[in-house]
Amino acid sequence: MKGKVEFRTDWCKGCELCIPVCPVDIIFIDESVTNKKGYHPATVSEMDACIGCGNCGRICPDSIITVWREKRVKKAKK
């Protein structure tokens, strides 16, 4: 299943809780970016690898992560 995640980087505190729960290891702290609050936000390195599991969104204490999943297409029975 394919997925997509969106981080509200302006609200992210860089707590890193989302990093170890990602089963495909695509989340990292972007130290080249500093948000308005002075934190380095989390981001995704390879969106195409996201499986839409939702682990990152569930663990985020500030609810700044939104996860989308592609809908499964059911095959017609013959």
The 10s digit of each residue's pLDDT in 23-75 is 999 999 999 999 999 999 999 999 999 999 999 999 999 999 999 988 776 77
Type of residue at 28:
F
* Sign of the alpha-carbon torsion through 24, 25, 29, 32: negative
Instruction: For the chain, give every domain's residue range.
Output: 3-69
CATH dotted code for 3-69: 3.30.70.20
Confidence (pLDDT) at 53: 95
pTM summary value: 0.83
Tokens representing 53 are: 């599991």
